[in-house]
């Protein structure tokens, strides 16, 4: 099965954001990955809902919305209003994770849970059957263009084993330092969805970069 490719607009040219979204619409990309940061949970601020309303209006691909923020449950109505396909929250930011996952599903979106590089896969054991997808961060979240953390490949294998043993249907998504080399190894380990930022938007031919990832 071909991988799902979700280019991250955090790496897009914000001066020509409409052009970059139109490129994604034309391309073989499956989803549009949107990173929302608050400067508290992660040491950076990205973009808020006024910008994202514009993105949602232009994008013709499903929105994969990743909230790197404290209390993400407060923004379920805003993410729903964007027409998001996936709402992705951090395990580390949700002390009542099961409730948040239920609220996302009740709002009509697919719930996903993210874990940071230092969070072990075993922490997902009690939630794995309730989520549509798990996102493994392969860099420490907050900035684009970081170096891939090699241990993530082992975490993908471990998560695939947990999903199989649990009888879960959860997808495995990986975000951070994804390119043709790391992407092929992640897919071989059991990943389903690749988030690519710099590998797409810094490429001379962005649509070809997406096509190459899709062919892995």
Catalytic residue from among 35, 38, 64, 192: 35
Number of helices (H), then strands (E), belonging to the chain: the values are 8, 8
Provide the pairing of β-strand 133-137 with 171-175: parallel
- Compute the distance between CA of residue 20 and CA of residue 71 in angstroms, rounded to an integer: 30
**Three-state SS at 208:** helix
CB 113 within 8 A of CB 101: yes
156: tokens are: 């993908």
Whether 175 sits among the annotated catalytic residues: the reply is yes
In eight-state DSSP terms, residue 5 is E
Closest to 8 (Cα-Cα) out of 215, 192, 174? 174
Rounded to 5°, the CA angle 6-199-53 comes to: 45
The residue whose two tokens read 């719930």 is 111
**Three-state SS at 91:** helix
Sheet containing 110-115: order of strands:
4-7, 193-196, 171-175, 133-137, 110-115, 86-90, 63-68, 32-37
Catalytic residue from among 30, 38, 64, 175: 175
Question: Residues with catalytic annotation?
Answer: 35, 175
């Amino acid at each position: 099965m071909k991988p799902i490719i979700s280019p991250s607009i955090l790496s897009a040219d914000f001066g020509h954001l409409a052009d970059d979204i139109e490129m994604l619409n034309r391309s073989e990309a499956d989803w549009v990955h949107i990173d929302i940061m608050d400067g508290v949970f992660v040491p950076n601020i990205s973009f808020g809902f006024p910008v994202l309303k514009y993105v949602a209006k232009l994008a013709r691909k499903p929105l994969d919305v990743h909230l790197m923020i404290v209390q993400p449950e407060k923004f379920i109505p805003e993410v729903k209003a964007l027409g998001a396909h996936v709402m992705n929250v951090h395990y580390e930011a949700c002390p009542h994770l099961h409730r948040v996952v239920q609220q996302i599903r009740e709002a009509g979106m697919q719930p996903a849970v993210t874990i940071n590089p230092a969070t072990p896969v075993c922490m997902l054991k009690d939630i794995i059957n309730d989520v549509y997808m798990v996102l493994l961060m392969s860099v420490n979240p907050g900035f684009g263009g970081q170096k891939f953390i090699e241990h993530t490949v082992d975490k993908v294998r471990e998560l695939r084993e947990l999903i199989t043993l649990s009888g879960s249907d959860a997808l495995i998504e990986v975000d951070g330092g994804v390119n043709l080399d790391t992407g092929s190894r992640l897919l071989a380990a059991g990943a389903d969805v690749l988030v690519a930022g710099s590998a797409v938007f810094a490429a001379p031919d962005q649509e070809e970069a997406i096509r190459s990832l899709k062919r892995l």
